[in-house]
């Protein structure tokens, strides 16, 4: 029988039939929303779970945030970058130590499925990196950025930019510590650097290079989070014969689409967090850094008189006057101080010898003459 939106039922031989659907419905029995039907044409395969998920998204659009990476998996990496905002869309002005930056050159653009297009200052791919020479607010990184909240979808309840402070050797994850820079504000991030050095070998287990673990699909230096997500991808591949599009993956591995999303969710439900898996070995790195951040937020003035401090030429001055949706981001070091936590053996061989010599010296009055006398005694006893 025909269902929703039917117009008429046409019978065919051998008890077969077809339905002529209204404009809103599609499918053999007119049970699938026409919008969903058009979308399903882009899928290699799909099942009832996929249709049910799309129907839920149609009723509750906020659920799309969880499924966007699976939609994007249908497109190439280049196309994903093209449909997101680029340098010209976002940046009005950027500077470092008071000098204006070449935005397209000094801010490297890259794309992540869960974050969209990201822009990194002093990216690891840059052969020449800018080093900080002075501390203070005027000597750090400053950027005037347009949040473009007028282009947000209507169910998005928060408009902001996500700011990550990290080492150029480390990869940013969708779950990494971030700070929200809201439009119409001046957001200042005051940072300090802390480094950690751990002992390996007989003192404990740590990783010097990412080749020491079974799988690692991220760029940059080894990180425990990257190892855990790579281990997770291997398990997804074993169970679903594809890899989760939300995270980096092996180059030749197929990407899971919406029809395989239920398999991924079932795996996560059964096994839980990868950090609890006994077969997922991801020790801490032997050397790592961490930026500790204090942040403050104030209202961004809308008067054109204040624009002169953000721009150095007429072109950027005119853009600065259009304040709606703009945010001014400051990242700087109040003091050039670095804390280092380093593991050292409580007693190594040199300390053992020194302590032994000191102890023998106290108990026996050991000296060179003492060793000569002991040697002479041994000879006398041997030939007595």
Q: Write down the pLDDT at residue 102.
A: 92
Q: What is the pLDDT of residue 321?
A: 44
Chain centre distance of CA 377? 72
Burial annotation 111-132 (CB, 10 A radius, 16+ → b, else e): bbbebebbbbbbebeeeeeeee
**Is 218 or 48 the better-scoring residue by pLDDT?**
218
Mean of the pLDDT values across residues 142-152?
85
- 250 and 170 both lie in a single domain: no
220 plus 257 within the same structural domain: yes
* Domain that residue 57 falls in: 7-77
Q: Looking at 61, 77, 93, which one is the last position of a domain?
A: 77
* Torsion angle defined by CA atoms of residues 246, 261, 259 and 244, in that order, rounded to the nearest 10 degrees: 30
pTM (2 d.p.): 0.74
Could you tell me if 147 and 183 lie in one domain? yes
Q: Is the pLDDT of residue 322 over 70?
A: no
pLDDT at residue 54, rounded to an integer: 79
**30/284: higher pLDDT:** 284
Q: What is the pLDDT of residues 20-68, one digit of tens each?
A: 787 888 877 787 888 888 877 776 667 777 777 777 777 777 677 777 7
* Domain total in the chain: 4
Of 168, 121, 167, whose CA–CA distance to 145 is shortest?
121
Average pLDDT along the chain: 82
In a domain, 107, yes or no: yes
Task: Decide which of 369 and 295 is more confident.
Answer: 295
281 within a domain of the structure (yes/no): no
Domain with residue 129: its CATH number is: 2.60.470.10
Q: Which two tokens stand for residue 321?
A: 């006057």
Q: What whole-number distance in Å separates Cα of residue 34 and Cα of residue 27?
A: 8
Q: Does the structure show a pLDDT above 60 at 10?
A: no
Q: What are the tokens at 303?
A: 């008067």
Kindly state whether residue 40 falls inside one of the protein's structural domains: yes
Of 191-200, 249-258, 320-329, where does the model show the most confidence? 191-200
Lowest mean pLDDT among 1-5, 117-121, 213-217: 1-5
Residue 146 lies in a domain: yes
Q: Answer yes or no: is 359 within a domain.
A: yes
- Is residue 96 one of the residues assigned to a domain? yes
- Assess if residue 204 is contained within a domain: no
Give the pLDDT band of residue 12 (cuts 50, 70, 90): low
Within-domain flag for 324: yes
Band of residue 1 on the pLDDT scale cut at 50, 70, 90: low
Say yes or no: 57 and 194 in one domain: no
The CATH number for 219's domain is 1.10.287.820
């Amino acid at each position: 029988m025909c269902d929703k939106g039917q117009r008429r039922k046409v019978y065919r031989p051998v008890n077969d039939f077809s339905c002529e659907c209204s404009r809103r419905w599609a499918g053999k029995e007119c049970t699938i929303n026409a919008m969903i039907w058009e979308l399903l044409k882009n899928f290699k395969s799909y099942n009832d779970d996929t249709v049910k998920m799309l129907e839920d998204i149609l009723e509750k659009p906020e659920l799309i945030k969880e499924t966007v990476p699976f939609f994007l998996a249908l497109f190439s990496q280049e196309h994903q970058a093209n449909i997101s905002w680029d340098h010209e869309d976002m940046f009005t002005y950027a500077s470092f130590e008071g000098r204006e930056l070449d935005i397209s050159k000094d801010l490297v653009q890259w794309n992540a499925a869960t974050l969209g297009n990201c822009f990194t200052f002093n990216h690891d791919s840059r052969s020449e990196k800018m080093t900080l020479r002075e501390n203070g607010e005027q000597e750090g990184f400053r950027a005037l950025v347009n949040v473009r909240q007028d282009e947000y979808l209507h169910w998005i309840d928060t408009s902001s930019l996500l700011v990550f402070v990290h080492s150029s050797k480390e990869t940013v994850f969708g779950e990494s510590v971030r700070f929200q820079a809201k439009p119409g504000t001046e957001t200042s991030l005051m940072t300090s650097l802390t480094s950690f050095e751990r002992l390996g070998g007989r003192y404990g287990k740590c990783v010097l290079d990412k080749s020491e673990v079974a799988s690692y699909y991220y760029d940059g230096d080894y990180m425990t989070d990257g190892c855990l997500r790579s281990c997770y991808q291997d398990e997804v591949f074993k169970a679903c014969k594809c890899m989760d599009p939300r995270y980096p993956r092996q180059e030749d591995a197929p990407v899971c689409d919406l029809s395989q999303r239920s398999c991924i969710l079932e795996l996560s439900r059964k096994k839980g967090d990868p950090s609890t898996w006994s077969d997922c070995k991801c020790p801490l790195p032997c050397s790592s850094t961490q930026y500790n951040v204090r942040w403050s937020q104030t209202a961004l003035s809308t008067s054109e008189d204040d624009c002169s401090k953000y721009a150095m030429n007429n072109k950027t001055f005119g853009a600065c006057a259009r304040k709606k949706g703009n945010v001014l981001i400051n990242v700087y070091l109040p003091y050039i101080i670095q804390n280092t936590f380093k593991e050292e053996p409580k007693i190594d061989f040199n300390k053992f010898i020194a302590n032994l010599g000191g102890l023998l010296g106290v108990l026996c009055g050991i000296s060179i003459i003492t060793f000569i006398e002991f040697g002479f005694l041994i000879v006398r006893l041997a030939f007595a």
